[in-house]
Homo-oligomer: A and B are copies of this chain.
Amino acid sequence: MAKSLEERVRQIEDRLEIYNLIASHPPSADTGSRAHVANAWIEDGTFDRGAEFGGPQQQSNSAGGMGNPEHMRAISQGLAHFSGLPYVRISGDTAFAISYLQILVPDRVGPEFEVPNHGKGRGFHVHRVSANRWDFVRTAEGWKIKTRQLRTLDGNEGARGILVGTFAE
Protein backbone atom coordinates (compact mmCIF):
# COMPACT_ATOMS: atom_id res chain seq x y z
CA MET A 1 0.00 0.00 0.00
CA ALA A 2 1.33 3.39 -0.91
CA LYS A 3 2.49 5.49 2.01
CA SER A 4 0.65 8.70 2.79
CA LEU A 5 2.45 11.99 2.39
CA GLU A 6 2.44 12.35 6.16
CA GLU A 7 4.13 8.97 6.57
CA ARG A 8 6.75 9.89 3.98
CA VAL A 9 7.49 13.19 5.71
CA ARG A 10 7.77 11.44 9.06
CA GLN A 11 10.26 8.94 7.64
CA ILE A 12 12.35 11.81 6.28
CA GLU A 13 12.27 13.52 9.68
CA ASP A 14 13.36 10.21 11.23
CA ARG A 15 16.33 10.10 8.91
CA LEU A 16 17.43 13.64 9.70
CA GLU A 17 17.00 13.06 13.44
CA ILE A 18 19.29 10.04 13.17
CA TYR A 19 21.86 12.05 11.22
CA ASN A 20 21.90 14.53 14.12
CA LEU A 21 22.24 11.76 16.70
CA ILE A 22 25.34 10.46 14.90
CA ALA A 23 26.68 13.98 14.37
CA SER A 24 26.35 14.85 18.05
CA HIS A 25 28.53 11.95 19.17
CA PRO A 26 31.93 13.53 18.32
CA PRO A 27 31.21 16.82 20.16
CA SER A 28 30.21 14.71 23.16
CA ALA A 29 33.25 12.45 23.03
CA ASP A 30 35.64 15.37 22.54
CA THR A 31 34.34 17.42 25.47
CA GLY A 32 33.26 14.69 27.92
CA SER A 33 29.72 16.07 27.90
CA ARG A 34 27.23 13.76 29.58
CA ALA A 35 24.26 15.71 28.21
CA HIS A 36 24.56 13.69 25.03
CA VAL A 37 24.70 10.34 26.75
CA ALA A 38 21.70 11.11 28.93
CA ASN A 39 19.61 12.11 25.92
CA ALA A 40 20.90 10.03 23.04
CA TRP A 41 20.83 6.53 24.54
CA ILE A 42 18.10 4.30 25.92
CA GLU A 43 18.72 3.55 29.58
CA ASP A 44 20.15 0.04 29.16
CA GLY A 45 21.93 0.61 25.84
CA THR A 46 25.00 -1.46 24.99
CA PHE A 47 28.31 -0.14 23.68
CA ASP A 48 30.85 -2.59 22.26
CA ARG A 49 34.33 -1.31 21.35
CA GLY A 50 35.71 -4.82 20.87
CA ALA A 51 37.73 -7.22 23.01
CA GLU A 52 40.62 -4.77 23.45
CA PHE A 53 38.30 -2.47 25.40
CA GLY A 54 36.40 -5.13 27.37
CA GLY A 55 33.71 -6.14 24.85
CA PRO A 56 30.02 -5.20 25.17
CA GLN A 57 29.12 -3.13 28.22
CA GLN A 58 26.29 -1.04 29.57
CA GLN A 59 26.55 2.41 28.04
CA SER A 60 25.70 3.92 31.43
CA ASN A 61 28.91 2.36 32.81
CA SER A 62 30.95 3.44 29.82
CA ALA A 63 34.21 5.14 30.54
CA GLY A 64 33.98 7.88 27.95
CA GLY A 65 32.89 10.89 29.93
CA MET A 66 33.81 13.43 32.56
CA GLY A 67 33.97 10.79 35.27
CA ASN A 68 37.06 9.29 33.69
CA PRO A 69 40.29 11.25 34.31
CA GLU A 70 42.06 9.35 31.52
CA HIS A 71 39.43 10.39 29.00
CA MET A 72 39.64 13.99 30.18
CA ARG A 73 43.43 13.83 29.86
CA ALA A 74 43.04 12.73 26.23
CA ILE A 75 40.75 15.72 25.63
CA SER A 76 43.18 18.18 27.20
CA GLN A 77 45.93 16.89 24.88
CA GLY A 78 43.70 17.31 21.82
CA LEU A 79 41.18 14.71 20.66
CA ALA A 80 38.97 14.70 17.58
CA HIS A 81 36.36 12.13 16.64
CA PHE A 82 35.57 12.62 12.97
CA SER A 83 32.49 11.03 11.39
CA GLY A 84 32.00 10.40 7.69
CA LEU A 85 28.68 10.23 5.84
CA PRO A 86 26.63 7.39 7.42
CA TYR A 87 24.44 4.87 5.64
CA VAL A 88 21.03 4.86 7.36
CA ARG A 89 18.03 2.55 6.96
CA ILE A 90 14.72 2.90 8.81
CA SER A 91 12.06 0.20 9.27
CA GLY A 92 9.10 1.54 11.20
CA ASP A 93 10.20 2.11 14.78
CA THR A 94 13.72 0.73 14.45
CA ALA A 95 16.65 1.82 12.33
CA PHE A 96 20.32 1.12 11.86
CA ALA A 97 23.29 3.05 10.54
CA ILE A 98 26.74 2.02 9.32
CA SER A 99 29.36 4.74 9.69
CA TYR A 100 33.08 5.26 9.54
CA LEU A 101 34.81 7.12 12.33
CA GLN A 102 38.34 8.50 12.66
CA ILE A 103 40.05 9.43 15.92
CA LEU A 104 42.75 12.06 15.42
CA VAL A 105 45.27 13.54 17.85
CA PRO A 106 47.91 16.26 17.48
CA ASP A 107 51.18 14.84 16.17
CA ARG A 108 53.97 15.77 18.58
CA VAL A 109 56.82 13.83 16.96
CA GLY A 110 56.61 14.24 13.17
CA PRO A 111 58.12 16.97 10.98
CA GLU A 112 56.61 20.45 10.72
CA PHE A 113 54.63 21.31 7.60
CA GLU A 114 54.12 24.86 6.44
CA VAL A 115 51.13 25.36 4.16
CA PRO A 116 50.83 28.77 2.46
CA ASN A 117 47.97 30.80 4.02
CA HIS A 118 47.24 27.87 6.38
CA GLY A 119 49.89 28.11 9.07
CA LYS A 120 52.67 25.83 10.27
CA GLY A 121 52.74 22.86 12.60
CA ARG A 122 53.24 19.14 13.04
CA GLY A 123 49.61 18.49 12.18
CA PHE A 124 47.51 15.56 13.28
CA HIS A 125 47.89 11.81 13.48
CA VAL A 126 45.06 9.40 12.61
CA HIS A 127 45.02 7.14 15.64
CA ARG A 128 42.04 4.96 14.70
CA VAL A 129 39.65 4.30 11.84
CA SER A 130 36.67 2.17 12.75
CA ALA A 131 33.53 0.67 11.22
CA ASN A 132 30.50 1.42 13.39
CA ARG A 133 27.08 -0.15 13.56
CA TRP A 134 24.38 1.81 15.37
CA ASP A 135 20.94 0.38 16.19
CA PHE A 136 18.20 2.86 17.04
CA VAL A 137 14.69 2.68 18.46
CA ARG A 138 11.90 5.21 18.37
CA THR A 139 10.78 6.25 21.87
CA ALA A 140 8.26 8.73 23.23
CA GLU A 141 11.21 11.18 23.49
CA GLY A 142 12.42 10.63 19.94
CA TRP A 143 15.00 8.29 18.41
CA LYS A 144 17.57 6.82 20.78
CA ILE A 145 20.67 4.65 20.41
CA LYS A 146 20.05 1.09 21.59
CA THR A 147 23.39 -0.48 20.70
CA ARG A 148 26.61 0.66 19.12
CA GLN A 149 29.36 -1.66 18.01
CA LEU A 150 32.69 -0.63 16.51
CA ARG A 151 35.76 -2.41 15.19
CA THR A 152 39.07 -1.00 13.96
CA LEU A 153 39.58 -1.32 10.19
CA ASP A 154 42.92 -3.10 10.46
CA GLY A 155 41.93 -6.08 8.32
CA ASN A 156 40.10 -8.02 11.04
CA GLU A 157 36.94 -9.97 10.24
CA GLY A 158 34.82 -8.12 12.80
CA ALA A 159 35.11 -4.80 10.99
CA ARG A 160 34.18 -6.42 7.68
CA GLY A 161 31.23 -8.12 9.34
CA ILE A 162 29.90 -4.71 10.36
CA LEU A 163 30.34 -3.27 6.89
CA VAL A 164 28.62 -6.10 4.99
CA GLY A 165 25.57 -5.45 7.16
CA THR A 166 25.01 -2.37 4.98
CA PHE A 167 23.70 -4.59 2.22
CA ALA A 168 21.68 -7.02 4.37
CA GLU A 169 17.96 -7.30 3.72
For chain A, the bracket of interface size reads: 35 or more
In the complex, whether A13 has a CB less than 8 A from a CB of chain B is yes
Within 8 A of B (CB), among A113-165: 113, 115-119, 121, 123-129, 131, 153-155, 160, 163-164
Within 8 A of B (CB), among A64-91: 64, 68, 70-71, 73-89
Q: List residues of A whose CB falls within 8 A of some B CB.
A: 5-6, 8-9, 12-13, 15-16, 19-20, 22-24, 26-28, 30-31, 33, 35-36, 52-53, 63-64, 68, 70-71, 73-89, 98-100, 102-106, 109, 111, 113, 115-119, 121, 123-129, 131, 153-155, 160, 163-164, 166-167
